[in-house]
Amino acid sequence: MTLTGARERRVRTGGVELCVAELGDPEQPTVVLVHGYPDSKEVWSEVAGRLAGRFHVVSYDVRGHGRSTAPEPLRGGFTLEKLTDDFLAVVDTVSPDRPVHLVGHDWGSVQSWEFVTVKRTEGRIASFTSMSGPSLDHFGHWIKQRVSRPTPRRVGQLLGQGAKSWYVYLLHTPVLPELAWRGPLGRRWPGILRRMEKVPGDDYPTPSLPADAAHGAWLYRDNIRSRLRHPRADARAHAPVQLITPVEDVFLSPRLYDDLERWAPGAIRRTLPAGHWIPRTRPDQLADWITEFVTSVEDERPVPVASGRHADRFGGQLVLVTGAGSGIGRAAACAFGEAGARVVAVDRDTESAVRTAELARLSGARRAWAETADVSDERSMEKLAERVGEAYGVVDVLVNNAGIGLSGSFFATTTDDWREVLDVNLWGVIHGCRLFGRLMAERGQGGHIVNIASAAAYQPSKALPAYSTSKAAVLMLSECLRAELAGQGIGVSAVCPGFVHTNITSTARFVGVDAAEEQRRRGRATRWYGLRGYPPEKVAAAILRAVVRDQAVVHITPEARGARLLSRFAPGALRAIARLDPPL
Ligand code: NAD
Query: What's the confidence (pLDDT) of residue 2?
Result: 59
DSSP at 40? -
Grade residue 168 by pLDDT with cuts at 50, 70 and 90: confident
Atom 4 in ligand 1: residue holding the nearest Cα: 326
CATH number of 311-500+535-578: 3.40.50.720
The CA distance from 138 to 132, in Å, is 14
The third-level CATH classification (topology) of the domain covering 7-298 is Rossmann fold (3.40.50)
Atom 38 in ligand 1: residue holding the nearest Cα: 500
For the chain, domain boundaries: 7-298, 311-500+535-578
Residue range 504-559, pLDDT digits in tens: 999 999 999 999 999 999 999 999 999 999 999 999 999 999 999 999 999 999 99
Q: Rounded to the nearest whole angstrom, what is the distance from the C-alpha of residue 4 to the centroid of ligand 1?
A: 48
Pocket test for ligand 1, best of 330, 354, 502, 543 (most atoms within 8 A of CB): 502
Rounded to 10°, the helix 107-117/136-148 angle is 90
Residue range 46-75, pLDDT digits in tens: 999 999 999 999 999 999 999 999 999 999
Pocket of ligand 1 (CB under 6 A): 322-323, 325-329, 347-349, 352, 374-376, 401-404, 424, 428, 452, 454, 497, 499-500, 502-504, 507, 536
Half-sphere exposure of 159 (CA within 13 A, CB side): 7
Residues making up the chain, counted from first to last: 584
For the CA of 375, the nearest atom of ligand 1: 19
Q: Is the pLDDT of residue 1 over 60?
A: no
Q: Rounded to the nearest whole angstrom, what is the distance from the C-alpha of residue 323 to the centroid of ligand 1?
A: 6
Q: Rounded to the nearest whole angstrom, what is the distance from the C-alpha of residue 374 to the centroid of ligand 1?
A: 12
For the CA of 402, the nearest atom of ligand 1: 7
Q: What percent of the chain has pLDDT over 70?
A: 99
Q: Torsion over CA of 298, 87, 103 and 177, rounded to 10 degrees? A: 180
- Centre a 10 Å sphere on the Cβ of residue 302 and count the other Cβ atoms it contains: 11
Residue range 281-330, pLDDT digits in tens: 999 999 999 999 999 999 999 888 888 899 999 999 999 999 999 999 99
Pocket test for ligand 1, best of 404, 458, 470, 564 (most atoms within 8 A of CB): 404
Q: Is the pLDDT of residue 110 over 90?
A: yes
Q: What is the DSSP string of 73-91?
A: SSTTSS-HHHHHHHHHHHH
Nearest Cα residue to 75 out of 221, 250, 207, 205: 221
Q: Rounded to the nearest whole angstrom, what is the distance from the C-alpha of residue 503 to the centroid of ligand 1?
A: 8
Q: Rounded to the nearest whole angstrom, what is the distance from the C-alpha of residue 461 to the centroid of ligand 1?
A: 19
The CA distance from 92 to 90, in Å, is 6
| Burial class of residue 228 (count of CB atoms within 10 Å of its CB; 0-12, 13-18, 19+) | middle
The CA distance from 230 to 441, in Å, is 46
Q: What 3-state class would DSSP assign to 21? A: strand
Q: What is the DSSP string of 142-179?
A: HHHHHHHS--HHHHHHHHHHHHHTHHHHHHTSSSHHHH
Rounded to 10°, the helix 136-148/152-164 angle is 140
Atom 34 in ligand 1: residue holding the nearest Cα: 403
Q: Which residues of 307-327 are buried (b: 16+ CB within 10 A; e: fewer)?
A: ebebbbbbbbbbbbbbbbbbb
Instruction: Please provide the average confidence, as pLDDT, over all residues in the chain.
Output: 96
Pocket test for ligand 1, best of 320, 321, 322, 326 (most atoms within 8 A of CB): 326
For the CA of 405, the nearest atom of ligand 1: 34
User: Mean of the pLDDT values across residues 406-434?
Assistant: 98
The CA distance from 530 to 535, in Å, is 9
Atom 1 in ligand 1: residue holding the nearest Cα: 504
For the CA of 456, the nearest atom of ligand 1: 43
Q: Is 467 a catalytic residue?
A: yes
The CA distance from 415 to 222, in Å, is 75
Q: Rounded to the nearest whole angstrom, what is the distance from the C-alpha of residue 529 to the centroid of ligand 1?
A: 14
Rounded to a whole number, what is the distance in angstroms from the first to the last CA of the chain?
Answer: 71
7-298 and 311-500+535-578 share one CATH topology? yes
What would you report as the CA-atom Rg of the chain, rounded to the nearest whole angstrom?
27
Residue range 350-389, pLDDT digits in tens: 999 999 999 999 999 999 999 999 999 999 999 999 999 9
For the CA of 534, the nearest atom of ligand 1: 40
Atom 19 in ligand 1: residue holding the nearest Cα: 374
Grade residue 201 by pLDDT with cuts at 50, 70 and 90: confident
For the CA of 495, the nearest atom of ligand 1: 44
Q: Rounded to the nearest whole angstrom, what is the distance from the C-alpha of residue 425 to the centroid of ligand 1?
A: 9
Catalytic one of 60, 204, 458, 467: 467
Q: Rounded to the nearest whole angstrom, what is the distance from the C-alpha of residue 148 to the centroid of ligand 1?
A: 55
Instruction: Identify residue 184 by its one-letter amino acid code.
Output: P
Residue range 448-489, pLDDT digits in tens: 999 999 999 999 999 999 999 999 999 999 999 999 999 899
Q: Rounded to the nearest whole angstrom, what is the distance from the C-alpha of residue 327 to the centroid of ligand 1?
A: 7
For the CA of 352, the nearest atom of ligand 1: 9
Atom 6 in ligand 1: residue holding the nearest Cα: 323
